[in-house]
Structure 1
Amino acid sequence: MTKQGVALVVLAAGQGSRMQSDLPKVLHRLGGVPLVGHALLAGRGLEPCRVIVVAGHGAEAVTRAVARLDPEARIAIQERQLGTGHAVAQALPLLDGFEGRVVVLYGDTPFVAAETLAALAAHPADVAVLGFEAADPGRYGRLVVKGDDLDRIVEFKDADEATQAITLCNSGVMAVDAGLLRDLVGRLGNDNAAGEYYLTDVVALARAAGRRAAVVTCAEAETLGINTRAELAAAEAAFQARRRAEAVEAGVTLADPATVWFAPDTVIGRDAVIGQNVVFGPGVTIESGAEILPFCHLEGCHVSAGATVGPFARLRPGAELGGGVHVGNFVEVKNSILSEGVKVGHLTYLGDAEIGERSNIGAGTVTCNYDGVGKHRTVIGPDAFIGSDTMLVAPVRIGARAMTGSGSVITQDVPEEALGLGRGRQVNKPGLAARIMQALRDSKVK
C-alpha cells in the first residue's frame, strides 16, 4: 500500500450480449448478490479511500444497485463502450487530487480474493498486473515477461504463434500509481484488431517510459469471468461448494450440504445446525449453537445462540432473534426484535414489532403494521400471552404479563397484567344450522 492510500475502479459498463438478457451482465446474481457486488466486497478489503464504478449499458439500473451495495461508491458513465482503457478514462475525473494506488477490477469477475488484491496493491512495481497460469490459455491475453519484469501484454487476436504458446495469462486486474495512470491512459491508441483502447497497453507504454511493470499471480479459479448463463451457473455451483466446505470446516453441521445455499457475507458460528433446503440471502448471521430447521429462507437477519427457526420459516431484513427464541413453521418475521425466550410457534406474521422476554405469540397472530401509507410498530412487553388469531393493529402496545383473547382485534393499548378482548359476543341460534343445510341441499336438487 502507498501512504496516499488506494482507490478502486470497477469496470461494469459492458452489455454482456452473450447472457441473452435485458439485464446488465454485472447485475446477474451469484450467491444472491449482483456480480458487481462481489467485486466491491473484495475491493473493500483494501479499505479504499475512493470507490468508482464505471457504468454504461443499463447505467440507471447499475447505479441503483451500486447505491444499495456500497452507498459511498461513485458512478462514472461510459456512454460508448470503446474498450477498457476508454472505460478507465471515464473514471479519471473522479480521481482528481488522488495520488495513491489505483486498483482496477471487473464487475463480471467475482472470485478475486481480497488477499490477492492486497498483494497486488502493495507490489512495489509502478504497474502490477494480476496473472495466472491457464490450463487452457484459449483466447486470453498473454503476459510476456523478461526476467522478473512484465514486458508487455498481448491480446490473443493480436498475438503471433509464439506468443499464443505462452500459458501465463492476463486477468485484466491491475494496480497502477494514479499519476502514472493518468499519463498512460491519455496516450492510449486504438490501432489494433478490435479498434479499441486497451488498458493492457499501459504496460508497454510504462516500460517505454522507463517504469517497471510486474506480474502478481493467483489461482486460475480466482480469475473466472462470467459471460454466459452457463458460466454463471458454473460459477454459482463453484461458489456454493466452496462456502459449504468452509462452513463444515468451521464446525457447522449441514444436514444435507448440497441443498444449503449461501450468500457472500453469510456468517454461521460453530455448532450451529442447518437443516435441508435452507437458503441464506445477504446479511445473515447465525450464532453458535442455533438451529435452522429445513425449508427456511433467511435474509438480513441475526439469530442468537440457542434459538431455533423453522421448519418453513422466513426471516426478512431487520429480524433480530434473541437467545432461546423459537420461531416455528410458517412464521414470517420482518424488522422485528424478538427478545430472549420468545416463542412464536406457527402461522404468524410479525412485522415492525418488539417482543419482550419470554412472551408467547399464538398461532395466526398478525401485527397489522401497514395502513396503506406508512408502517407502524407493535410493542409487546415481557411475559405477555397473545392468544391465537389476534390481530394487533399498530401502533399498539401490550403491557408486561398482559394477555389478549383468541380471535381479538386489538386497536388500543393493553395495560400490564390486563386481558384485552376485541371480538363480538357469541350468539347461538338453536336448530338454525340444520335448517340452513337442508335448504342448501334442497336448492342443489332443484
Structure 2
Amino acid sequence: MTNIFAVVLAAGQGTRMKSKLYKVLHPVCGKPMVEHVIDNIQSLNIEKIVTVVGHGAQMVKEKLGDKSEYVLQAEQLGTAHAVQQAEPILSSLEGTTLVVCGDTPLIRPETMQALFDYHTSQNAKATILTAVAGDPTGYGRILRDAEGNVAQIVEQKDATEEQKLVTEINTGTYCFDNKALFQALKLVNNNNAQGEYYLPDVIEILQKQGEIVSAFVTDHFDETLGVNDRFALSQAEQLMRAQINEKHMRNGVTIINPATTHISADAVIGADTVLQPGCIIEGKTRIGEDCVIGPNSHIVDSLIGNATTIHSSVILNSSVGDATAVGPFAHLRPDSSLGNHVKIGNFVEVKKSKLGDHSKVSHLSYIGDAEVGENVNIGCGSITVNYDGKNKFKTVIEDDVFVGCNSNLVAPVTLGEGSFIAAGSTVTKDVPSDALAIARARQENKLGYVSKLNLK
C-alpha cells in the first residue's frame, strides 16, 4: 500500500472576495471552506497533510490547529511555487501526493479516492482531475492528442480562440508521484501571460520525460467549484446545503421545506425528527430522534435529546434533555442545561443555569446563574436577580419549590426543598425547607381617596 500525502493550496489573498477575511476562511454551511477540504482529506488514509499558507497565515493555523502541517509561501508566485514550499517536508518521501485547492469546499472524499485509485491503476506519474463544464470560461483547458491522451493544459489567458472552445477543464486537483513532482517543479518557468510558475506545467514536463500522465473525468462538475468571489461563495453554500439536507432526509429526517432549512456540515440529527421551515442548525449540534424543531428556530453547538420540541426559539451552546418543550420565543444562552420533561415557555430567557427534571418556567421569566432542582415551578414574571452591576451571583432552588408569579430572587440566595414563595415577593434571604416566604409590602386601602383627586 503506497503512502499518500496531501498538499492544500491556501496562500492566495482572494482579492475578488473584497473582504478583510482571508479567502479560504470564508464559511460554507457554517465552516471555513479550507476546513471542509482538510476534513474531507482526513477521511482518507493520508500520512501527511501540508497546508501552504500566505496571507492570513496565523488565522488559518489557529482555525485548523493540528489537523495539518504548514509551510509559508511568503510571496505568491503561482501554484507551482506554492507546492514547492512543501519540499522540505515531502520531497524525500516515497508515495503519492494529492494536491487540492483550499477554496474547493465541495470536493468529496469519494472523488478524491476515485482519483487516487485511477492514478494507481494507470501506473501514472501524474493524474489530473478533470470535468466537462457547460461554460469553461476561466478554467484551464485539457488538450488531448489523437489517441485521447492528455497532451497539455492551457490556462485561459494563454489559450488560443480554438483552445477556448474546449469544454474539458482542469479542476486544479491532481495526484502525483511524490518524488517525480518535486523533481519536475525545479524545471517549471514563468514564461506566460501572468509571469507565474504554473503547477499544470509539471504535466508537460513529465510528458516530455516520457512519463505516463493520465486524466480522470469526474461526473460531478459542481463539486469542483472554486470559490473566488461572493457569488461563487453563494453557489457553494447552496450546493452544499442541498447535499446536507438530502443526506439527512435519506437518513430518516423530515425537512418540510429544504429551501429554507440551513444545517451545518457537522450537525447530527436522529431519525423521525421533523425540521419545520426556517430552521437554522449550526456548528456541532446533536439532535436526537422524534424531535420537532421550528419553525424559525436557531440552534448552535447544542445537544438536544429525544422527543423534544423546540418552537421558534434560540438555543446557544446548551443542552436540552428528553421530552422537553422550549418556546415559542424562548432564548437559551450559553452553558444552560435542561433536564428531561422540562418546560421553558414563551418569552423565557435562561442563561448559564441548570434545570432539573420536570421543572417548569412557563412564561415571561429570566433565569440566570441558577441551579434549579427537580419538580420546581417558577411563576410568570419571576427572575433571578444575579447581577449587582459588578459581580454575578448564584441562585439555588432545591427540589419541589414553588415560586409564585412576579417574584425577584436576589442572589446569592437558596430556596430550600419544598419551600413556597408567595407571589410578588422580593427574596433577599435564604428560605428554609417547607417554609412559606412572603417578602412584599402590606397592602393598605385608602377608602374614598380617589374622589379627593377630582379625577372624575
Q: TM class by shorter-chain length?
A: 0.7 to 0.9
Which deviations, in whole Å up to 9, do the C-alpha atoms of 1:307-338 show, x marking residues without a partner? 00022x11112x22222111112322223332
TM-score scaled by structure 1? 0.84
Structure 1 62/268 Cα, relative in aligned 2: closer, same or farther at 3 Å?
same
The answer to whether residue 383 in structure 2 is matched with residue 390 in structure 1 is: yes
Shift of 1:367: 4.2
SS in 1 for 2:173: strand
Query: What is the alpha-carbon distance in structure 1 between the residues aligned to residue 208 and residue 278 of structure 2?
Result: 57
Which of 72, 75, 90 is residue 77 of structure 1 equivalent to? 72
Q: Which letter maps to 2:328? A: N
Query: What is the alpha-carbon distance in structure 2 between the residues aligned to residue 126 and residue 365 of structure 1?
Result: 67
Q: Which letter maps to 2:368? A: C
* Residue of structure 2 equivalent to 1:372: none
Shift of 1:184: 2.5
* Residue of structure 1 equivalent to 2:390: none
- Matched residue pairs, number? 424
Query: What is the alpha-carbon distance in structure 1 between the residues aligned to residue 224 and residue 357 of structure 2?
Result: 49
Structure-to-structure mapping, 1:35-46, within 5 angstroms = 35-46=33-44
Shift of 1:43: 1.9
Shift of 1:172: 0.5
Shift of 1:173: 0.8
Query: What is the alpha-carbon distance in structure 1 between the residues aligned to residue 372 and residue 384 of structure 2?
Result: 13
Which structure has the larger Rg over C-alpha atoms?
2
The answer to whether residue 173 in structure 2 is matched with residue 169 in structure 1 is: no
The answer to whether residue 427 in structure 2 is matched with residue 422 in structure 1 is: yes
TM-score scaled by structure 2? 0.82
Shift of 1:185: 2.4
Moved more, 403-412 or 339-348: 403-412
Moved more, 241-250 or 129-138: 241-250
Structure-to-structure mapping, 1:182-221, within 5 angstroms = 182-218=182-218, 219-221=220-222
Structure 1 408/208 Cα, relative in aligned 2: closer, same or farther at 3 Å?
same
Shift of 1:134: 1.7
* Residue of structure 2 equivalent to 1:375: none
Q: Which letter maps to 1:143? A: I
Q: Which letter maps to 2:413? A: Q
Shift of 1:79: 1.7
Structure 1 294/154 Cα, relative in aligned 2: closer, same or farther at 3 Å?
same
Q: Which letter maps to 1:81? A: Q
Shift of 1:259: 1.7
Which of 92, 107, 110 is residue 102 of structure 2 equivalent to? 107
* Residue of structure 2 equivalent to 1:59: 57
Query: What is the alpha-carbon distance in structure 1 between the residues aligned to residue 75 and residue 197 of structure 2?
Result: 12
Question: 5+ unaligned residues in a row in structure 2: which ranges?
Answer: 387-392, 429-438
Structure 1 179/349 Cα, relative in aligned 2: closer, same or farther at 3 Å?
farther
Shift of 1:150: 3.5
Shift of 1:148: 7.0
Query: What is the alpha-carbon distance in structure 1 between the residues aligned to residue 113 and residue 83 of structure 2?
Result: 20
* Residue of structure 2 equivalent to 1:152: 152
1:12–1:106: 8 Å Cα contact kept in structure 2? yes
Moved more, 320-329 or 173-182: 173-182
1:141–1:170: 8 Å Cα contact kept in structure 2? yes
Query: What is the alpha-carbon distance in structure 2 between the residues aligned to residue 256 and residue 174 of structure 1?
Result: 38
2:306–2:321: 8 Å Cα contact kept in structure 1? yes
Moved more, 242-251 or 122-131: 242-251
Structure 1 329/126 Cα, relative in aligned 2: closer, same or farther at 3 Å?
same
Structure 1 3/426 Cα, relative in aligned 2: closer, same or farther at 3 Å?
farther
1:275–1:294: 8 Å Cα contact kept in structure 2? yes
Shift of 1:266: 3.0
* Residue of structure 2 equivalent to 1:329: 328
Structure-to-structure mapping, 1:43-442, within 5 angstroms = 43-67=41-65, 71-95=66-90, 98-122=93-117, 123-124=119-120, 125-145=124-144, 147=147, 149-161=149-161, 163-218=163-218, 219-311=220-312, 313-317=313-317, 319-333=318-332, 334-369=334-369, 378-388=370-380, 389-391=382-384, 393=386, 394-405=393-404, 406-419=407-420, 422-423=427-428, 424-428=439-443, 430-431=445-446
Q: Which letter maps to 1:59? A: A
Query: What is the alpha-carbon distance in structure 1 between the residues aligned to residue 374 and residue 82 of structure 2?
Result: 57
Which deviations, in whole Å up to 9, do the C-alpha atoms of 1:110-142 show, x marking residues without a partner? 211111011223331332221101222223212
Q: Which letter maps to 2:427? A: G
SS in 2 for 1:408: strand
Q: Which letter maps to 1:119? A: A
- Sequence identity of aligned pairs in percent? 31
Question: 5+ unaligned residues in a row in structure 1: which ranges?
Answer: 370-377, 442-446
Which of 17, 25, 32 is residue 34 of structure 1 equivalent to? 32
SS in 1 for 2:262: coil
Query: What is the alpha-carbon distance in structure 1 between the residues aligned to residue 83 and residue 351 of structure 2?
Result: 45
Which deviations, in whole Å up to 9, do the C-alpha atoms of 1:189-232 show, x marking residues without a partner? 21222111111122222333443322122121111122222222
Shift of 1:404: 4.2
SS in 1 for 2:413: coil
Structure 1 85/274 Cα, relative in aligned 2: closer, same or farther at 3 Å?
same
Shift of 1:156: 2.7
Q: Which letter maps to 1:38? A: H
1:390–1:410: 8 Å Cα contact kept in structure 2? no
Shift of 1:363: 3.1
Query: What is the alpha-carbon distance in structure 2 between the residues aligned to residue 357 and residue 47 of structure 1?
Result: 45
1:332–1:350: 8 Å Cα contact kept in structure 2? yes
Q: Which letter maps to 2:383? A: T
Shift of 1:257: 2.9
Query: What is the alpha-carbon distance in structure 2 between the residues aligned to residue 177 and residue 351 of structure 1?
Result: 55
1:32–1:263: 8 Å Cα contact kept in structure 2? yes
2:29–2:264: 8 Å Cα contact kept in structure 1? yes
2:384–2:395: 8 Å Cα contact kept in structure 1? no
Shift of 1:161: 4.9
1:390–1:404: 8 Å Cα contact kept in structure 2? no
SS in 2 for 1:329: coil
SS in 2 for 1:42: helix
2:6–2:98: 8 Å Cα contact kept in structure 1? yes
Shift of 1:83: 0.5
1:132–1:171: 8 Å Cα contact kept in structure 2? yes
Query: What is the alpha-carbon distance in structure 1 between the residues aligned to residue 152 and residue 453 of structure 2?
Result: 92
Structure 1 97/302 Cα, relative in aligned 2: closer, same or farther at 3 Å?
farther
Q: Which letter maps to 1:391? A: T
Query: What is the alpha-carbon distance in structure 2 between the residues aligned to residue 404 and residue 47 of structure 1?
Result: 58
Query: What is the alpha-carbon distance in structure 2 between the residues aligned to residue 337 and residue 368 of structure 1?
Result: 12
Shift of 1:260: 1.4
Query: What is the alpha-carbon distance in structure 2 between the residues aligned to residue 355 and residue 273 of structure 1?
Result: 25
Shift of 1:438: 6.2
